[in-house]
Amino acid sequence: GQQLNQSPQSMFIQEGEDVSMNCTSSSIFNTWLWYKQEPGEGPVLLIALYKAGELTSNGRLTAQFGITRKDSFLNISASIPSDVGIYFCAGLLRGEAAGNKLTFGGGTRVLVKP
Amino acid sequence: GAVVSQHPSRVICKSGTSVKIECRSLDFQATTMFWYRQFPKQSLMLMATSNEGSKATYEQGVEKDKFLINHASLTLSTLTVTSAHPEDSSFYICSAPLYTEAFFGQGTRLTVV
Q: Chain A contact for B105, CB < 8 A?
A: yes
In this structure, are strands A102-104 and A85-92 parallel, antiparallel, or unpaired? antiparallel
Residue A99 has pLDDT above 70, yes or no: no
Supply the mean pLDDT for chain A: 90
The answer to whether the CB atoms of B42 and A107 lie below 8 A apart is yes
Summarize pLDDT for A49-95 with one digit per residue, the tens: 999 999 999 999 999 999 999 999 999 999 999 999 999 999 987 64
A87-96, B46-55, B65-74, B98-107: the lowest-pLDDT one: A87-96
Please give the pLDDT value at position A15. Answer: 93
- pLDDT > 50? residue A97: no
What pLDDT is attached to residue A6?
96
Q: B interface mutation test: which of A56, A100, A109, A111 has the most B CBs within 10 A?
A: A100
Residue B70 to residues A45, B35, B50, B64, B83, Cα–Cα distance (Å): 26, 11, 7, 11, 17
Q: How many CB pairs under 8 A join A and B?
A: 67
Q: What is the mean pLDDT of residues A89-112?
A: 79
Give the minimum alpha-carbon distance from B61 to chain A in angstroms, rounded to a whole number.
11
With cut-offs at 50, 70 and 90, classify the pLDDT of residue A100.
low
Distance from CA of B16 to the nearest CA of A (A): 25
Task: Determine what percent of chain A is predicted with pLDDT higher than 70.
Answer: 92
Show residues of chain B in contact with A23, CB under 8 Å: none
Count of C-beta atoms within a 10 Å radius of residue B102: 26
Which of B38, B44, B79, B109 is the best substitution to test chain A (most A C-beta atoms within 10 A)?
B44
Instruction: Look at residue B74 in the predicted model and tell me its pLDDT.
Output: 93
The closest CB to that of B101, out of A48, A94, A104, belongs to: A48
User: What average pLDDT does the segment B41-56 reach?
Assistant: 92
CB proximity A98 to B under 8 Å: yes
Report which of B93, B83, B91 is spatially closest to residue B111, judged by C-alpha positions: B91
Per-residue model confidence as pLDDT tens digits over B18-33: 999 999 999 999 999 9
For residue B41, what pLDDT band results from cuts at 50, 70 and 90?
A: confident
Q: Determine the distance in angstroms separating the CA of B102 from the nearest CA of chain A, rounded to an integer.
A: 8
Distance CA A74, CA B111 (A): 34
Residues in contact with B63: Cβ distance below 8 Å, sequence separation at least 6, in sequence order: none
